[in-house]
Amino acid sequence: MQKILVPTDFSENAWNAIDYAMQLFRDRECTFYLLNTYTPVIPSSRFMAKMIDGVRIVDAVRDSSQRGLQKTVDKIKSKYKNPLHQFETISSFNLLVEEVKDMVDCFGIDLIITGTKGASGIDEIFMGSNTVRIIKSVKKCPILAIPHHFDYVTPSEIAFATDFNRFYTQSELTPLLDMARMFHATIRIVHVQYGIKALSELQQFNLNMLRRYMGDVEHYVHTVSELHSVSQTLEIFSKELDIHLLALLNYQHSYMEKMTREPIVKKTAFHTQIPLLVIPELGMEGASAKIKDRAQEHTTVNR
């Protein structure tokens, strides 16, 4: 059974992410952990927090959080009535990113699904600050960011954007391959090219290994020229090939890192118009497995 964490602030965008999650995993047994965090501002006092109508502020905010979570679960069950899905609610007096990291560790979360902006989000930004913080901070779990107003489409066309400069491990690619196999999807490997030049020996080796990892998954390699920015290039590619999901590895100098650092003016055209699957690089806890992978692959290549 998959364990999926869905943070919510009870906004329309958060509900859209929940709605997407229910449809994406409608045929899978899942436990969904619905998380709401709150950090009320409590005035300084020697004796107690400030009272409102006889109720402490922190208690009032906690009760509101718990009621909102229960209302959300009731709405999900009323709309979908899916016996394969179970729900747990967590209302936490904590910062969102810190609570997400704790839950990934404590519950063994397989995937985080979040909206791209919250109740006070602005359409013109690349994605909400909380989503960016989660992507930058969570190192043990993939994150699926769902754009505001995106209507669910079964992801039969998935783009995986990479520059082939980094060695991939099979563990890192597992979320991408699992998603493709789940929906019998085609993976479009996209390389954004800067100028006209052939792949280096290292890039060609990494591409060959990537194709080996794909196994029985239908896949194609596309080389596209950069247009003003990585995000705009990928946005145009996604539109032209009717891509339903864009996947990226998140590591130093990756496309994902470059996109979050691009000037706002260059990101407005993209601003995650399709779901974005962000896969963290293998952490230090997986270093021994990574070395083992390299050794096995080197042996295979030299046979």
245: three-class secondary structure by DSSP: strand
pLDDT computed for residue 30 by the predictor = 97
Per the listing, tokens 């899916």 go with: 82
pLDDT computed for residue 212 by the predictor = 94
pLDDT computed for residue 266 by the predictor = 44
Mean pLDDT across the stretch 36-61? 64
Rounded to the nearest angstrom, the gap between the alpha carbon of residue 160 and the centroid of all alpha carbons in its chain is 13
296: three-class secondary structure by DSSP: helix
Q: Which helix (H) or strand (E) holds 213?
A: helix 201-214
Other C-beta atoms closer than 10 Å to the C-beta of 105 total: 11
The pLDDT of residue 285 is above 50: no
Top-confidence range, 61-65, 177-181, 290-294: 177-181
pLDDT computed for residue 232 by the predictor = 79
The pLDDT of residue 267 is above 60: no
Residue 250 has which token pair? 């998140």
Q: Using pLDDT thresholds of 50, 70 and 90, give the confidence band for residue 234.
A: confident
**Rounded to an integer, what distance in angstroms lies between the CA atom of residue 182 and that of residue 193?**
30
CA angle 146, 185, 31 (to 5 degrees): 50
DSSP string, 171-211: HHHHHHHHHHHHTTPEEEEEEEESSS-PPPHHHHHHHHHHH
| pLDDT tens figures, 137-174 | 898 899 999 988 889 999 999 999 998 988 888 889 99
Q: What is the pTM of this model?
A: 0.82
Q: Using pLDDT thresholds of 50, 70 and 90, give the confidence band for residue 1.
A: confident
| pLDDT tens figures, 76-118 | 999 999 999 999 999 999 999 999 999 999 999 999 999 986 4
Domains of the chain: 2-146 (3.40.50.620), 157-301 (3.40.50.620)
Residue 136 has which token pair? 């930058």
The pLDDT of residue 194 is above 80: no
Q: Can you list the positions of beta strands (E) in the chain?
A: 2-7, 30-37, 51-52, 55-56, 85-92, 111-115, 143-146, 157-161, 186-193, 219-225, 245-250, 276-280
Other C-beta atoms closer than 10 Å to the C-beta of 264 total: 10
The pLDDT of residue 133 is above 90: no
**Rounded to an integer, what distance in angstroms lies between the CA atom of residue 27 and that of residue 183?**
11
pLDDT computed for residue 220 by the predictor = 97
The pLDDT of residue 274 is above 70: yes
User: pLDDT higher for 59 or 240?
Assistant: 240
